[in-house]
Amino acid sequence: MEYKKPVSVLVVIHTAAFDVLLLERARHPGFWQSVTGSQEDNEPLLETARREVREETTIISSADDFIDWHLTNRYEIFAEWRYRYAPGIAQNTEHVFSLCLPEQCPVTIAPDEHLGYRWLPWREAADACFSWSNRDAILELPQRLGRSSAPSQ
Determine, yes or no, domain membership for 31.
Answer: yes
Please give the mean pLDDT across all residues of the chain.
Answer: 94
104-112 long-range CB contacts below 8 Å, 24 or more apart?
104/15, 104/19, 104/21, 105/59, 107/21, 107/57, 107/58, 107/59, 108/57, 108/58, 109/23, 109/56, 109/57, 110/55, 110/56, 111/26, 112/26
Determine, yes or no, domain membership for 153.
Answer: no
- The answer to whether residue 1 scores a pLDDT higher than 90 is no
Determine, yes or no, domain membership for 152.
Answer: no
pLDDT at 52: 97
Determine, yes or no, domain membership for 67.
Answer: yes
pLDDT at 97: 98
Give tens-digit pLDDT for 64-116: 999 999 999 999 998 988 999 999 999 999 999 999 999 999 999 999 999 99
pLDDT at 81: 87
Domain region containing 100:
7-144
- The answer to whether residue 152 scores a pLDDT higher than 80 is no
Give tens-digit pLDDT for 138-149: 999 999 887 755
Choose among 35, 97, 104: nearest CA to 70.
Answer: 97
pLDDT at 16: 93
Determine, yes or no, domain membership for 1.
Answer: no
Determine, yes or no, domain membership for 149.
Answer: no
Mean pLDDT, rounded, for 117-131 = 97
Give tens-digit pLDDT for 48-66: 999 999 999 999 999 999 9
- The answer to whether residue 42 scores a pLDDT higher than 60 is yes
- Give this prediction's pTM: 0.93
Determine, yes or no, domain membership for 2.
Answer: no
pLDDT at 151: 59
The CATH number linked to 36 is 3.90.79.10
- The answer to whether residue 153 scores a pLDDT higher than 70 is no
**Tally of domains within the chain:** 1
Determine, yes or no, domain membership for 73.
Answer: yes
